[in-house]
Homo-oligomer: A and B are copies of this chain.
């Protein structure tokens, strides 16, 4: 009676192994002169901005008064927030209809749940290295996975292989873990390929706010033809520090149909049946992100993280370390020096510099020999970590 595919799931020991190693090191080493600096996990550290805090407090008060209390809201989100997100897209020339936008509790939920709409015997193309959720959610459904090699040769940006007949394709740009960003031309190749073979692209745009070059696409819907082949997932987690507040959104275009069924209508049916919408208070906080004040405040925080990334990139370049990311991404993906493998470099960095990062091999086979650092720390820690790395 059990879904047997759960037996095929690999337990992820990545972050638990890191935690165990760090903990063992902490109890054996003297860290008083050189405290540990954590650049491993992809979580933000800056608080919610004042505009969001004010909006959420007001919404909580509304919920406490009979005249302004709100019960069940629309499963796909309140119009005030959907309209705000649509305006955000419109600012980049991407026009969305109201019913194309779905508010959710985060991209992770939607990226997993969208698979409800597709049959299990589909070929799924997933980049390697990769955010493990794409792999695990498809393994749970028993789909066969074809990995797209992301490596130094292709700048960690794999392009379509015409020999593969894909059903679903995962793309994440700016990429987690590599920080690499697709150009318009490259995304156009993916869109043309998907339209050609009938595949659906699941585009993860969670880090779009880190792109500061208008030549680079922040949404797949900036690419001609994407409306007939793509779904886009986005999140306020990294854009506005919502990792613990939980709000994201998913765009499913009206034109996206397969086998005579509208993917948009299917997703609406899925969400109205298995989801009851995001907390009103959180939606009011999310709305505030898109006000002029909220945009100014959140972009200050992003600028702070981006400056961290720039400092890291500059230091690594000075050290002669090869890397991707850092320019339009909170992640730096570096090649371990001296030909070290990912875990050996992890151990060395921990032991010599007291810096914690993430071994690249934890994100897939092609991650071996690479290492991920994040720019979400404080300026002081970031600068100090780079000084220590230069000294060791």
Contact A279 B282 (CB under 8 A): yes
Beyond A3-B117, A7-B261, A244-B277, 10 additional contacts (C-beta under 8 Å) are A2-B266, A6-B266, A48-B60, A48-B64, A48-B69, A57-B57, A108-B275, A109-B274, A140-B270, A244-B279
Task: Identify the closest chain B residue to A378 (Cβ).
Answer: B66
Question: Is A258 positioned at the interface, with any CB of B under 8 Å from its CB?
Answer: yes
In the complex, per-residue mask of A1-42: 1 if CB is within 8 Å of any chain B CB, else 0: 111101101000000000000000000000000000000010
Residues of B within 8 A of A200 (CB): 1
* Contact yes or no, A244 B280, CB < 8 A: yes
A85 within 8 A of B: no
Q: How many copies does the complex hold?
A: 2
Known A-B contacts A108-B274, A261-B7; A244 and B71 likewise in contact (beta carbons under 8 Å): yes
Is A43 in the interface zone, CB < 8 Å from B? yes
**Residue pair B64, A244 in contact (C-beta under 8 Å):** no
Tell me the A residues contacting B by CB distance below 8 Å: 1-4, 6-7, 9, 41, 43-50, 52-53, 56-57, 60-61, 63-66, 68-73, 105-106, 108-109, 112-113, 116-119, 122, 133, 136-137, 140, 167, 198, 200, 241, 243-246, 258-259, 261, 266, 269-270, 273-282
A136 neighbours in B (Cβ, 8 Å)? 273
CA distance A198 to B117 in the complex (A): 29
The smallest C-beta distance from A289 to any residue of chain B, in angstroms, reads 13
Residues of B within 8 A of A1 (CB): 118-119, 122, 167, 198, 200, 258-259
| Cβ contact within 8 Å between A57 and B48 | no
Give the CA-CA distance A69 to B274 in the complex, in Å: 30
Query: How distant is the Cα of A7 from the Cα of B198 in the complex, in angstroms?
Result: 20
Cα–Cα distance between A269 and B53 once the two chains are bound (Å)? 33
Instruction: Provide the residues of chain B in CB contact with A241, threshold 8 Å.
Output: 69, 71
Task: Show 22 residue pairs from A and B whose CB-CB distance is below 8 angstroms, ordered by the A residue.
Answer: A1-B198, A2-B258, A6-B261, A6-B266, A43-B72, A45-B69, A49-B64, A53-B63, A63-B244, A63-B245, A69-B244, A73-B244, A106-B276, A108-B275, A108-B276, A109-B275, A109-B276, A112-B274, A133-B274, A279-B279, A279-B281, A281-B281
B residues less than 8 Å from A45 (CB atoms): 66, 69, 71
Closest CB-CB distance, A11 to chain B, in whole Å?
9
Contacts of A280 in B (CB 8 A): 244-245
Q: How far is the CB of A338 from chain B (nearest CB, A)?
A: 33
| B residues in contact with A279, CB < 8 Å | 105, 244-246, 279, 281-282
Q: Are A47 and B63 in contact (CB under 8 A)?
A: yes
Kindly report which residue of chain B lies nearest to residue A105, judged by CB atoms: B105
